[in-house]
Structure 1
């Protein structure tokens, strides 16, 4: 029986790094927008919640049938609508006898009993998270636990929403009751549990955002958002035959727009940061120097290399350009690593332009 639970748990842990990676950017955006910064404890709790939900989901849906064309179940095996039927199942399976007290311990060996205990314990962490992190009252915990349990039951009885030809698990009303009871039990346990942990609603009480350094992670998220917008625009301009599309979009998006929008692109606005110049509000010449060095010079060399590689008129020229570009990119990578390790250092295009980031 233990192996039946270890398989889905191990599958959830193996899948967690990938799911966590997909979860990270939306998570960071929400944290930056809502709180203005990333708190490590808040991040830890939310990633633990994600890991818990993955384990619960895998425990519910795994193992699956070997084929999507599974055999149809019996008509009376799809739904179980009788509340507390598990009591009759335990009594029917147990080897204990009422008139023989020494046999009562056998109840603890019955599968039906352990199945119900598992269904209760499965939702205890959910109640803990709802009360400790989301600060819900018992009614919301009740509805939330019932809703999550109903989602799991519908997932099973629908054959994973139509992926399988037939349901491969039973919709059991006792599962709804035991899961909801587990959520409420977790809610009660959280009263003691939360007393030994930081209060979520007080994490930001003494935070001064003006003294927070803008991390490279935050800047990286803004970079991804900006280029998620710019990449298709650049491709479209290239296909339409627009002259110098890369240089034009860099000028408009990273120089003109931040100058008009007080140091913000759309990506910087999303993560609540802005560029500042030496005298406060960033000026157009400062933006011209900053992004000219980063995107026209460094980025332009990479774009030129791609163009030379596509033409391939001279093998010697291509090899020479490859060597030069490798040295340039390697030097920038080492420079960026040094700046990342020593936070007092500034990237070269920031030092020359006199620009930097601040939190809005």
Structure 2
């Protein structure tokens, strides 16, 4: 019986690194946008929650049938009688009720162990709901019941039609015991909360102005900016607009930040902005900053791509350009790595322009105070 549960748990732990990698991007975006920074304790809890959900899903799905064209079950697809597990325990047990020494055999009964497992399966869910997500008991009850019904429906539909027939039945007892486990976790979280940091106070003494803007955060802003900008440049190119790269860069990275005091869409999303030497970002600072970055480094690469797209010249004729672009990229790459490992070292275009990044404060929502 224990092996039956260890098999899916081992698969969950083996696949967790891949799931964690996919989870990291949306996690960082939400954390930067909502809280302004990444709290290590909050991150640990959310990754533990992801690991728990993976274990729960694997436990209710695995092992899978050997083929999608599986055989129909020999019994009904559903069990609708509440507390039917009591009859299963009484029918299968080897306990002699007149001999107390045999009561320990209950701990080895399949029917009883299945009930215990179904309760324990959702205990962490109830604990996370109350401790981290701050839900009340009714919401915890409904969400745990919903999770259990999701499990049962997934099983009874053969993973929503992937398999020809259900390979596990819908059991109302499972829904009941899962829900009971969630509520047990909700109660246990009250004791846990008194011994762990309060989730709603993690950001209470955090000074965002004193925090360093990481290269990870800047990289996310970069990805968002170019996710927006690439289609714009493609449209400009299709419309035969002259020098689409120059126009797009000037409009997006110079004009837009000048009027938004240092923010592009990507920087706004992760709550950072470019700051200059004064309170207001100056046009000269933006011209130097992005002229060096996208004019020199980016411009060399854009020119090579443009010549390649036009099928321009022989390989010998463009060889000097290729070597020059390679040299520019190599020097910039080495410079970037050196800045990554030395926090005091600034990127060359920031040092020349006198600019840098700061975290923006979350705007305070205005509203009327309640009378009285």
Partner of 1:188: 187
| Structure-1 separation of matches of 2:40 and 2:142 | 29
How does the TM-score come out when normalised to structure 2?
A: 0.91
Partner of 1:289: 288
Q: Using the TM superposition, give the Cα deviation of residue 271 of structure 1 relative to its aligned residue in structure 2, in angstroms.
A: 1.2
Partner of 2:256: 257
**CA deviation digits over 1:28-83, x for unaligned, max 9?**
22212221211111111111111111111111111222222222224x52111111
Whether 1:358 and 2:330 are equivalent positions in the alignment is no
Partner of 2:272: 273
Partner of 1:163: 162
Partner of 2:24: 24
**CA deviation digits over 1:298-332, x for unaligned, max 9?**
01212233344553733334554444333322222
- Segment drifting more, 337-346 vs 169-178: 337-346
- Structure with more of its chain in helix, by fraction: 1
| Structure-2 separation of matches of 1:347 and 1:179 | 54
Partner of 1:153: 152
Contact residue 275 and residue 358 of structure 1 kept, 8 A: yes
Tell me how many residue pairs correspond in the alignment.
359
| Structure-1 separation of matches of 2:97 and 2:2 | 29
Q: Using the TM superposition, give the Cα deviation of residue 113 of structure 1 relative to its aligned residue in structure 2, in angstroms.
A: 1.0
Q: Using the TM superposition, give the Cα deviation of residue 129 of structure 1 relative to its aligned residue in structure 2, in angstroms.
A: 0.9
| Structure-1 separation of matches of 2:143 and 2:100 | 41
- Segment drifting more, 166-175 vs 98-107: 98-107
| Structure-2 separation of matches of 1:278 and 1:334 | 27
| Structure-1 separation of matches of 2:161 and 2:77 | 15
| Structure-2 separation of matches of 1:282 and 1:251 | 16
**CA deviation digits over 1:112-158, x for unaligned, max 9?**
11111111111111111112111222222212211111111111112
Partner of 2:56: 56
| Structure-2 separation of matches of 1:233 and 1:57 | 41
Q: Using the TM superposition, give the Cα deviation of residue 254 of structure 1 relative to its aligned residue in structure 2, in angstroms.
A: 0.8
Partner of 2:68: 68
Partner of 2:365: none
How does the TM-score come out when normalised to structure 1?
A: 0.94
| Structure-1 separation of matches of 2:72 and 2:252 | 58
**CA deviation digits over 1:202-237, x for unaligned, max 9?**
111111212122121211111111111112222232
| Structure-2 separation of matches of 1:49 and 1:326 | 45
Unaligned segments of structure 1, at least 5 residues: none
**CA deviation digits over 1:258-309, x for unaligned, max 9?**
1111211111111111111111221222112111111121012122333445
Contact residue 309 and residue 318 of structure 1 kept, 8 A: no
Partner of 1:121: 120
Q: Please report the RMSD computed on the Cα atoms of aligned residues, expressed in angstroms.
A: 1.8
| Structure-1 separation of matches of 2:294 and 2:71 | 59
Unaligned segments of structure 2, at least 5 residues: 361-372
Partner of 2:328: 328
- SS at structure 1 position matched to 2:274: strand
Partner of 1:135: 134
| Structure-2 separation of matches of 1:122 and 1:264 | 46
Whether 1:103 and 2:108 are equivalent positions in the alignment is no
- SS at structure 1 position matched to 2:316: helix
